Amino acid sequence: MASEKLNIIEQFKNLDVLKMDRRTFLKAVAALGATSFVSVYGNQLASALTFSETKVLWLHGAECTGCSESALNGEKPEFADALRELNISLTYHETLLAQQGIFNDGKLVNTSDLNAEILLHDLIEAGNYILVVEGSIGNGPDGTGKICMYGGNTFKSVFEHAAKNANAIIALGTCATYGGITVTDAATKKYCDFKGVMQTEQDRNDGMLQLLKINKPCVNLPGCPSHPDWLFLTVAGILLGKLDLTDPSWLDADGRPLMFFPQDAVLHDNCPRRGYYDRGVLDKDIAQGGCLWKIGCKAPYVHSDCALRKWNDGTSLCMQAGGPCIACVEPIFPNGSMPFYEEKERVEILFGVNMGMVAAFVIGAAVVAAGVHAVRRMKKE
């Protein structure tokens, strides 16, 4: 494994990241991961971005802050180093802001003239920033947005103000991209009416941007949480001019970068437990060490590079740690992938909740692939 990594680094280390065409850049970020990308191209990044500081405003809507946690837990590069490598000024991030408020003028944030709401308002008015949105945006009840308040304002109105003045938007995590856990089927779902930035779980054209008639380029980086590499490498690509936000050909139909969410492969293809699947060693309970298909693994339907990139600085991933994939990067998560720990052989049952919509644009070729695998597996039983 280590020698495989060295070979990959060897392949890219003599290339000039600034002169790469987009195709080569996409290959490099997909193969290297953030850790090796920084070790191979760190100096080039530093010289390219020294004179072009980028402002980032990071807003939290309806969410659990897990995507911030994930970004902050990134190890190589660490979050602060990633900001430095890319010459980013994180001007607003609510979870980290309390300290900024205290130190801005020595008073506690809520008693200060420099409180968070005033600071945010001024930053938005100044414009010229990338907006990162973590969490969905509440439209309910009845279009008021009052289900999610941000200080004295609705988050819907704060998002509207910030989105209108942004140069570009990154929707981070499945709540911000498609609604995620905030649109889990419940009696209150219609009342809350949470929406992703560009789309919802059921409709690619029903995001908050469309509702507010705001036309801004947006990249979707789903995941519950999203991977720190996906964020770092996407921002690096944008800042280096390799990922053109006006040309979405590097994004899939759900707004995800194809280099991390390939449409011609599914997560199951590279699972470390794949050998067990092929030999029909299918666990019936947790902690048995075989393939997790029968206890609910949805990876045969999922497009993501989790199994190659892995988590916690390349240490492990859900299936490796014994947990079935719950399809957290797909628009149908979580309604379409529940119950999480039940085998779902037939696609119409797996995605039964929204089958008409899902069949049209979510699973595509993955269904065929998974169907073929299911037939192969059944023959072996």
325 near ligand SF4, rule: CB under 6 A: yes
236 near ligand SF4, rule: CB under 6 A: no
- 29 or 271: whose CB is closer to ligand SF4? 271
Q: How far is the CB of 300 from ligand SF4 (least distance, A)?
A: 6
- In the region spanning residues 253 to 282, those forming contacts with ligand SF4, defined by CB under 6 A, are 267-268, 271, 273-274, 277
- In the region spanning residues 281 to 310, those forming contacts with ligand SF4, defined by CB under 6 A, are 291-293, 297, 299-300, 302, 304, 306
Q: How far apart are CA 203 and CA 164, in angstroms?
A: 22
Residue 325 is assigned to a ligand binding site: yes
Residue 192 is assigned to a ligand binding site: no
Q: How far is the CB of 180 from ligand SF4 (least distance, A)?
A: 11
Residue 93 is assigned to a ligand binding site: no
172 near ligand SF4, rule: CB under 6 A: no
Per-residue contact string for residues 211-230; x = within reach of ligand SF4 by CB under 6 A: ------------x-------
Distance between the two ends of the chain, CA-based, in angstroms?
Answer: 32
- In the region spanning residues 326 to 355, those forming contacts with ligand SF4, defined by CB under 6 A, are 326, 328-329
Q: How far is the CB of 352 from ligand SF4 (least distance, A)?
A: 19
Residue 318 is assigned to a ligand binding site: no
Binding residues with ligand SF4: total (CB under 6 A): 23
Q: Which residues are annotated as a binding site for [4Fe-4S] cluster?
A: 64, 67, 175, 224, 268, 271, 291, 297
Q: Which residues are annotated as a binding site for [3Fe-4S] cluster?
A: 306, 325, 328
